[in-house]
Chain A
């Protein structure tokens, strides 16, 4: 996402947001909030636009346009509640940014509940002066938590593949990692062969992926701290769809070395391989439930691709989806009671959501024609998927509640295969006061 499209419909005041808001269906249902521009002291950098963008991307809130604010307080003492009630604001965020005596960049902020006339949180986030963006995302995380009780996931990152010059002689595939909003894009691997299925370890320190550098598919693991990578599986046939177990000890993947694609696990430390499914149909796209006891996977053993669950100890298989002729690529939600997946309906392929217990019908979350590769944020509030728009592969972020949709595009090629990171170690520190 070298240059993200900049076109903001919902928030017109600030033009530096990386998102283009594509759909703002049901905006009326979003809680109106005010992120008052932070007071910026000497040598400090304004982080308010990033906080504003983060919170609106969550699909929970609608930040009020700065031009419509009646006053610009920077502390709770300066807040006149009447002003904010007139605007219909549920929450007000005020604050300041300064450089402290140790040379650290500090954002001090308060989250105020207008209806209760109460300060919900007073806190500071400190970080490197060179890195105001990380500071801003961390502030957003804490503001989000104060308002919803759910941790924010704005400091997380996303892995994806950028495909440039597809079908040309200079075709190029780049495995990238960027902030969840597409900023600070960093290449991890560049290849003239396809790269697929990036998958994070639960601690965020390793990335598994499929590459075709050897001429056909192979599963690699890259240590993001040391930069070293190794081949985990390169057997005859397909080696693909890696998924780290929650404890990081195993990787589930697809191998067709024994005749056709089945699910296997590999113990990372010993490379010991264990076969999990054994069926002449296609079994693929395994993903772990959070307890590490079951895998969800796609299989066409019933005649069409559907989602199944297998217990890794008993190897007992049960079917989870029945609606329609194509349900695939499941991803388990952090609550471990729902999953999202690709669902074909008459109009095309969409991302759908349903409960693991099978008590409720599936709900469609996306509205394009060629939606695939869903990936959910670690807080379960937002999800990202890839789709196609004007012949280009783009990423779309949508709140799981479905209200707001953003798209991330690249001017140089197709963006595919997003994988949302888990919570990552932060370089900034949070101090509640």
Chain B
């Protein structure tokens, strides 16, 4: 059953049926914890195996090691699998898509607002998926404002924006211990201009993987 679920999950992922942010738990409707552990072990092994994700191969792996959820040493991969995160040349850690492209980590807001735009839901869910797959990965959620209005009010507003993103990730399965919401108010602009374009850039939440 476990093997089938795992195979099914990987197949559906490969086919693009699974929505990002859909967790293992939500997928394993009646699955026991042991099943989840087995799936995790399997996927870990899969991450570096060629051909992993095809339904025909996986039952064999599980059948051979029914009582050993720990993955066995695996052979050198012939093709490198896509990881969830990547370190950029400047040292920053970013979440990456299945095609290796960097997932957007900056989210914009309207003036004096903290509502997440609906266009950002899918992107935030991609981040949630990666954080759910990597429970020891933590992320700082930094809220920022434009220069208009008072600095202290903006410090509070920046926190409200960061909390909005934190709540969204929480609702998508990310654990509180993985996240820290911070606010820098209007003190960390990306654009020091005083026009609509600059202000729009500065009203933002940034996810920073640490």
Which A positions have Cβ atoms within 8 angstroms of B? 166-167, 194, 196-197, 212, 215-217, 237-238, 240-241, 254, 256, 260-261, 282, 284-285, 298, 300, 304-305, 326, 328-329, 342, 344, 349, 369-370, 372-373, 388, 391, 416-417
Q: Which of B12-20, B21-29, B155-163 contacts A (4 or more CB under 8 A)?
A: B155-163
Residue of A304, A344, A373, A391 touching B194 (CB-CB under 8 A): A391
Of the candidates B147, B149, B152, the one whose C-beta lies within 8 Å of that of A388 is: B147
Given known A-B contacts A194-B188, A284-B155, A370-B194, A298 and B150 have beta carbons under 8 A apart: yes
Pull 27 A–B residue pairs with CB atoms less than 8 Å apart, ordered by A: A166-B192, A167-B188, A167-B190, A167-B191, A167-B192, A194-B187, A196-B185, A215-B182, A216-B182, A216-B183, A237-B159, A237-B181, A238-B156, A241-B155, A254-B155, A254-B156, A260-B156, A260-B163, A261-B156, A285-B150, A298-B152, A298-B153, A305-B112, A329-B150, A373-B151, A391-B194, A416-B151
Which residues of chain A are within 8 angstroms of B160 by Cβ–Cβ distance? 260, 282
* Complex interface: chain A residues within 8 A of B181 (CB): 237
- Beyond A240-B155, A284-B155, A284-B156, whether A194 also contacts B192 by CB under 8 A is no
Enumerate B142-200 residues with CB–CB distance to A below 8 Å.
Answer: 147-153, 155-157, 159-160, 163, 181-185, 187-194
Please give, as numbers and ranges, the residues of chain B lying within 8 Å of A166 by CB-CB distance: 189, 192
A240 touches B152 (CB 8 A): yes
Q: How far is the CB of A428 from chain B (nearest CB, A)?
A: 35
Measured CA separation A369–B199 after assembly (Å): 14
Residues on B with C-beta less than 8 A from A212 are 184, 187
**With A and B bound together, what is the CA distance between A304 and B111 in angstroms?**
11
Report whether B193 and A391 are in contact in the complex, using a CB–CB cutoff of 8 Å.
yes
- In the complex, number of A-B residue pairs with CB atoms less than 8 Å apart: 96
Give CA–CA (A376, B132) in the complex, Å.
Answer: 52
Point out the residues of chain A lying under 8 angstroms from B185, CB to CB. Answer: 194, 196
New contact pairs (7) apart from A217-B155, A328-B149, CB-CB < 8 Å: A194-B184, A284-B153, A300-B153, A326-B112, A328-B153, A342-B150, A388-B194
A344 to B157, CA, bound (A): 17
Which residue from B149, B156, B192 sits with its C-beta under 8 Å from A349?
Answer: B149
Residues in B with CB closer than 8 Å to A217 are 155, 183
Chain B residues at the A interface, C-beta cutoff of 8 Å: 112, 147-153, 155-157, 159-160, 163, 181-185, 187-194
The 6 closest A-B pairs by CB, nearest first: A194-B187, A282-B156, A329-B150, A261-B156, A328-B150, A241-B152
Question: Which single residue of chain A is at the shortest CB-CB distance from B189?
Answer: A167
Nearest-CB residue, chain B, relative to A259: B163
**A216→B143 CA distance, assembly (Å):** 11
Q: Is the CB of B159 within 8 A of A256?
A: yes
Chain B positions within 8 Å of A369 at CB level: 194
Given A167-B192, A216-B182, A391-B193, residue A238 in contact with residue B149 (CB < 8 A): no
The winner among B152, B155, B190, B194 for most chain A CB atoms within 10 A is B152
Query: Once the chains are docked, how many angstroms separate the CA of A373 from the CA of B188?
Result: 18
CB atoms of A284 and B152 under 8 A apart: yes
**In the complex, which residues of chain B have a beta carbon less than 8 angstroms from the beta carbon of A216?**
182-183
Known contacts A166-B189, A166-B192, A391-B192; decide if A197 and B159 are in contact (CB<8 Å). no
* B152 with A370: CB separation less than 8 A: no
Contact of A254 among B147, B152, B189 (CB under 8 A): B152
Chain B residues whose C-beta falls within 8 Å of the C-beta of A197 in the assembled complex? 151-152
Complex contacts, B192 vs chain A, CB 8 Å: 166-167, 391
Contact A282 B153, beta carbon cutoff 8 Å: yes
- Report A-chain residues with C-beta under 8 Å of the C-beta of B157: 282
> A241 CA to B151 CA in the complex, in Å?
9
Given A167-B189, A329-B150, A373-B150, also A238-B112 (CB < 8 A): no
* A285 contact from B147, B152, B190, Cβ within 8 A: B152
What's the nearest-Cβ distance from chain B to residue A172, in Å? Answer: 13
Q: With the chains together, A135 CA to B185 CA distance in Å? A: 41
Interface centre among A217, A298, A305 (most CB of B within 10 A): A217
Contact of A196 among B147, B187, B189 (CB under 8 A): B187
Task: Tell me if B194 and A261 are in contact (CB < 8 A).
Answer: no
Query: Smallest Cβ distance from A389 to chain B, in angstroms?
Result: 10
B202 to chain A, nearest CB (A): 10
For the complex, give the distance between the alpha carbons of A303 and B158 in Å: 17
Most buried by B among A215, A256, A370: A256
Residues from chain B with a CB closer than 8 A to the CB of A342 are: 149-150
For B112, the chain A residues whose CB sits under 8 A away are: 300, 304-305, 326
Q: How far is the CB of B164 from chain A (nearest CB, A)?
A: 12
Chain A residue contacts of B190, Cβ below 8 A: 167
Is A329 touching B153 in the complex (CB atoms < 8 A)? yes
Known contacts: A256-B156, A284-B155, A391-B194. The answer to whether A238 contacts B150 by CB under 8 A is no
CA distance A194 to B185 in the complex (A): 10
Given contacts A260-B160, A370-B147, contact A196 B152 (CB under 8 A): yes
Q: From known contacts A166-B192, A212-B184, A216-B182, infer whether A305 and B153 are also in contact, taking CB-CB under 8 Å.
A: yes
Provide the residues of chain A in CB contact with B152, threshold 8 Å: 196-197, 240-241, 254, 284-285, 298, 329
Residues of A within 8 A of B183 (CB): 216-217, 238
Residues of B within 8 A of A388 (CB): 147, 194
